[in-house]
Amino acid sequence: AKPVIGFLGMGHMGLPMAINLHKAGYVLKGFDVVPAAVQAAQDAGIQTVATGAEAAVDVDIVLTMFPSGKHVLDAYREYLLESAKPNTLFLECSTIDVSQAREAAALAVEAGHRSADAPVSGGVVGAEAGTLTFMLGAQGEDLEEITSVLDHMGKRIVHCGGYGAGQAAKVCNNMLLGISMIGAAEAFVLGERLGLEHQALYDVISSASGQCWAVTTNCPVPGPVPASPANRDYQPGFAAALMAKDLGLASSALEHTDTDAQLGSLAAALYRKFSEEGNSGTDFSGIINAIRDGSL
């Protein structure tokens, strides 16, 4: 029989993920603190429960998809861990601080449960299509069970190591993404001022050593990559507020590990400023406009 899954946090990412599990035949106990999210889940045919605690009662897996680590730790401490039967698998899919992920795992294990961190990349589009990438921090003996569930929501699952390793991989990747987008934007603005056409610079970078996802998939100028957010007035895509959040987690990890990563720290500061100055809902490639007008 398929495991029964308590699914908490049915927001932008969680709801389409829950829908994919529901379609694959899993019985869910869905819960969100926002009534409209519960309603949307019910409309999709998903069974819901009245409280967060109930979502953990008599299930095999508790899956959380919350905004931040504080939400996760509070829910674990206040009701999830005590409501679940022994040996329940706590599958934590939110993007949270590495140290919080390790704390969550330790709390779960201490309470007699099993734990894994499985943050995702791929955004709402990937959640809807079931093509997310999961970065997994888990014990080897739980891998098969975890993979069989994640397979219905993602197309790639990378086992990165033990507790916290999934979050660690995610924070490193997104730090590089933030840095490379700023670099791509600076290169295009400099190119403009040197009289280069966007297409000409794109043709060179995309086949030369500056090649990167920020240019070839999410190109910050309109034209060369028709599907990039720059072609629709920088509607996300990946919103600047989320990049600012992820870079905040990177800053915290840099501090915890006493790592001198000057570009990562600077990218965090620039995205925080960009997001706070009215661009939180803009695609993160929109930072090119702030670079062009010198407002950062």
111 vs 124, beta carbon nearer ligand NAD: 124
Size of the site for ligand NAD (CB under 6 A): 27
Q: Is 157 helix (H, G, I), strand (E, B) or coil?
A: strand
How many residues in total does the chain contain? 296
State which H helix or E strand residue 190 sits in: helix 165-193
The reply on whether position 67 binds ligand NAD by CB under 6 A is: yes
Q: What is the distance, to the nearest Å, from the Cα of residue 163 to the centroid of all Cα atoms in its chain?
A: 17
28 vs 201, beta carbon nearer ligand NAD: 28
170 catalytically annotated:
yes
Of 98, 107, 123, nearest to 11 by C-alpha is: 123
- Which of 3, 4, 12, 280 lies at the binding interface for ligand NAD (CB under 6 A)? 12
Site string for ligand NAD, 124-143 (x = CB under 6 A): x-------------------
The reply on whether position 273 binds ligand NAD by CB under 6 A is: no
The reply on whether position 95 binds ligand NAD by CB under 6 A is: yes
The reply on whether position 13 binds ligand NAD by CB under 6 A is: yes
d(CA 240, CA 257) in angstroms, rounded, equals: 25
Site stretch for ligand NAD (CB under 6 A), options 66-74, 99-107, 135-143, 196-204: 66-74
The reply on whether position 48 binds ligand NAD by CB under 6 A is: no
The reply on whether position 120 binds ligand NAD by CB under 6 A is: yes
Q: Is 227 helix (H, G, I), strand (E, B) or coil?
A: coil
- Which of 3, 123, 183, 281 lies at the binding interface for ligand NAD (CB under 6 A)? 123
d(CA 34, CA 12) in angstroms, rounded, equals: 12
Half-sphere exposure at residue 269, Cβ-oriented, CA atoms within 13 angstroms: 7
41 vs 270, beta carbon nearer ligand NAD: 41
Indicate the DSSP class of residue 277. Answer: I
Tell me the closest approach of the beta carbon of residue 20 to ligand NAD, in angstroms.
14
The reply on whether position 210 binds ligand NAD by CB under 6 A is: no
Cis peptide before 69 (omega within 30 of 0): no
State which H helix or E strand residue 124 sits in: helix 123-129
The reply on whether position 226 binds ligand NAD by CB under 6 A is: no
Tell me the closest approach of the beta carbon of residue 194 to ligand NAD, in angstroms.
34
The reply on whether position 242 binds ligand NAD by CB under 6 A is: yes
Q: Which residues contact 206 (CB under 8 A, 6 or more apart)?
A: 215, 216, 224
d(CA 94, CA 13) in angstroms, rounded, equals: 9
d(CA 236, CA 286) in angstroms, rounded, equals: 9
The reply on whether position 224 binds ligand NAD by CB under 6 A is: no
Tell me the closest approach of the beta carbon of residue 43 to ligand NAD, in angstroms.
15
Instruction: Please spell the DSSP secondary structure of 41-84, one letter per residue.
Output: HHHTT--B-SSHHHHHTT-SEEEE--SSHHHHHHHIIIIIHHHS
- Which of 48, 83, 94, 100 lies at the binding interface for ligand NAD (CB under 6 A)? 94
- Side chain identity, residue 275: S
12 vs 155, beta carbon nearer ligand NAD: 12
Catalytic choice (85, 170, 245, 273): 170
Return residues touching ligand NAD (CB under 6 A). 8-14, 31-34, 37, 52, 65-67, 71, 75, 94-95, 120-121, 123-124, 238, 242, 245
Catalytic sites, residue numbers: 170
